[in-house]
Chain A
Amino acid sequence: MNILFDDRAQKNDKVEGQVTTFLNQVTTLEAKHNMLVIIFQDGASGAYYIKSSLLASDAAKLCDLDAKLDVSSSESYRANRQLFLKHMTYQRMVADALKGREFNDIIVEYNVEYTQENPLKVWGGQHRIKAISEAYTKSDRYHGFRIYFNLNKDQRTEIALVSNTNISVSNDTFDRMIEETIFGGALRKWCQKVELLGEKEDFPDVGSRSEKITVKKARSFVVNFYLGKRRGQELNSDKLDRNVYEPYLVDTGVKTGTDREIIADPTYEEIMNQYDILSDEALLKAGQRFLALHNEQYRAVLDTKTSIKNAKSYRNKAFVESVLCGWSYVAGLLQFHPERLENHYRIPKTSSKIPDPLNAEEMSKYKHDKDGPTYRGLGTRSALSDRQRIAQLFLAKSLEENVAIDQKFMDKAVSQVIGLLSLSQGYA
């Protein structure tokens, strides 16, 4: 078989060796007709690939839908989003494949470092591969593949991201890929340790459809704990209640760095580089107490004996970005003020009038004069003003042991934020 490097590709013996091995393993359309195989090199990432046509029956046997970003780690999880096998688009793909549709530009990576029997790791076109696999016994056609060789982790992640830009892949899935590429599995492990995730569970593909913590929220929790801790270290107890705090919301998605292809939120990167989150007992405790609050809120809303509407936004009130960020920031802030920290960790008092600790329904109705008619209530959004208000709410709660978050309490906390901002900056 004739193998040739494209003019724009730098010759690479390892790549050539891998391509040869692959072509000896499978009879491609090119091999069948003794055609020339050209090795290309992507200008942006430097990744090597060939274009080739494979029979559906071969593709079904060789492809692996559980592709991993970090091949060296046994703890790396399946990176792709879940398959939507009941989706109309997928059903249509299967029907087309049965009729003999020939698909093209399926993106795979040749990799024998894990699951050797399926060396073609699918990065783009997993639904097409699944459809082909279902149909090949009835219609065995050639399909077009782009097959990458000798990828490193960054190249692999970039290919996974680029391959998914033209379909509706959520930011949560992107975040999960980036997280694993840059930081490995530390954040996931931390969430598993806290039990925000199950023992073998991964972050959800789409946070809005799930009731689990997402990468973005877990990152925000960690970042706010440390930012709060740093700020708390600077303040004596008599100064704690005289400031407006600004819990941080970690940016989602992918950024392009100047020195690296892929970077995550810079504040998160800085925190992760400075702290070992898996060995920080204080962070672990904060996570566990937060989970206890979430669980209690969830249970109270589900409880049929309470009058509260069983709405997802009420059940998961603790997971609303402003609530999560504000709570975590205050947990960090009070690390040097143990009595107030314990008060913060106490689940807010409930009663027949306030059946859930976060009083979700009342919060969603709360409004300050400054808020316009379209304002959706306290702790319902991710905006900075909402994060500031929630931080103040939890900080005020930490002043006493047994606090119920009623409307009067919310009003006091929000008024404090508005008052402090008006005094200190001239504007709230």
Chain B
Amino acid sequence: MREFRDYIRYALKYLSLAEEKNQKQEDAEWLLIPAIILAWSAMELFVNNRCADLNSLPSDMFESHERAFLQEKHLRFEDSGDNIGKFVLKGNEYQALENKIFFLLSKMGSQNTTSLKDGTLWQRFKSFKEIRDSLAHPRRDKDIILHPQNVREHIETAKELIQEISERIWNTKLDF
């Protein structure tokens, strides 16, 4: 079972290869793009797993809308059929990573959630997100140029954000 640490490790491997290529003045972009995607996936995996921790609990420990959020389902009011008059979870409704982070922190975190949003780490996360989005959803008018140094910073941001979440919800410093 792959864990978030593996994704970080793979991202760093790609980055290391990219740095070698860069030194030889060879094309390295094809290595930097997966490094970015993998680092983002590490954060996604960590956050999704924390949602899964909550999702494994008895369902009546959460409000319907919270369950819908955790399961990334749409909460719909039924006006016909067997469930008429009830709210049911139907169809997918994906949540942005940042929403899931704030949900987890407000549900389990030991500190004020807004303090994260006001800090520099969150600013770095947003820059990272912009890069990742433009790579995952490419457009001709939003071309970006990647440098190994920037990619290293984004991987560091992923690690730091995972660490921040862990410390806030578990009071535990993780080993990578």
Contacts and interface: CB of A to CB of B under 8 A. Distances in A.
A352 B119 CA distance: 53
A370 interface: yes
A367 B6 CA distance: 13
Contacts of A415: 49, 52-53, 55-56
A374 B5 CA distance: 13
B57 A367 contact: no
Interface in B12-69: 46, 49-50, 52-58, 61
Contact of A427 (B1, B4, B55, B171): B171
Nearest to B176: A373
Interface string A397-421: 0000000000100011001101110
A273 B135 CA distance: 69
B36 to A, nearest CB: 21
A427 B166 CA distance: 9
A412 B55 CA distance: 9
A377 B139 CA distance: 45
Nearest to B45: A369
19 contacts: A242-B61, A367-B1, A369-B46, A369-B50, A370-B170, A370-B174, A373-B5, A374-B175, A407-B1, A411-B1, A415-B53, A419-B55, A422-B169, A423-B54, A423-B107, A423-B108, A426-B108, A427-B170, A427-B172
Given A369-B49, A420-B57, A427 B169 contact: yes
Given A373-B5, A423-B107, A426-B110, A416 B172 contact: no
A418 B166 CA distance: 12
A338 interface: no
Q: Is the interface of A mostly helix, strand, loop or mixed?
A: helix
B175 A427 contact: no
A285 B136 CA distance: 59
A393 to B, nearest CB: 12
A416 B58 CA distance: 9
A423 B58 CA distance: 13
B113 to A, nearest CB: 13
Given A370-B174, A372-B174, A428-B169, A423 B5 contact: no
A419 B57 contact: yes
A154 interface: no
B172 A370 contact: yes
Given A422-B169, A423-B57, A427-B170, 8 more contacts: A242-B57, A242-B61, A370-B170, A373-B5, A415-B56, A416-B53, A416-B57, A419-B55
A178 to B, nearest CB: 37
Given A416-B57, A418-B53, A372 B175 contact: yes
A68 to B, nearest CB: 50
A292 B54 CA distance: 34
B170 A419 contact: no
B3 interface: yes
Contacts of B3: 367, 369
A373 B108 CA distance: 24
A241 interface: yes
B42 to A, nearest CB: 11
Nearest to A407: B1
Nearest to A241: B58
B50 to A, nearest CB: 8
Contacts of B166: 370
A245 B52 CA distance: 20
Contact of A416 (B56, B107, B170): B56
Contacts of B49: 369, 415
A23 B174 CA distance: 69
A426 B174 CA distance: 17
A41 B12 CA distance: 71
B146 to A, nearest CB: 28
Contacts of B5: 373
Contacts of A428: 169-170, 172
A248 B105 CA distance: 31
Nearest to A369: B49
Which of A367, A369, A418: most chain B CB closer than 10 A? A369
A419 B1 contact: no
Nearest to A418: B53
A-B pairs, top 8 by smallest CB distance, nearest first, are: A419-B53, A372-B175, A415-B56, A422-B108, A427-B171, A415-B53, A416-B56, A418-B53
A369 B53 CA distance: 11
Interface in A334-379: 367, 369-370, 372-374
Interface in B131-176: 166, 169-172, 174-175
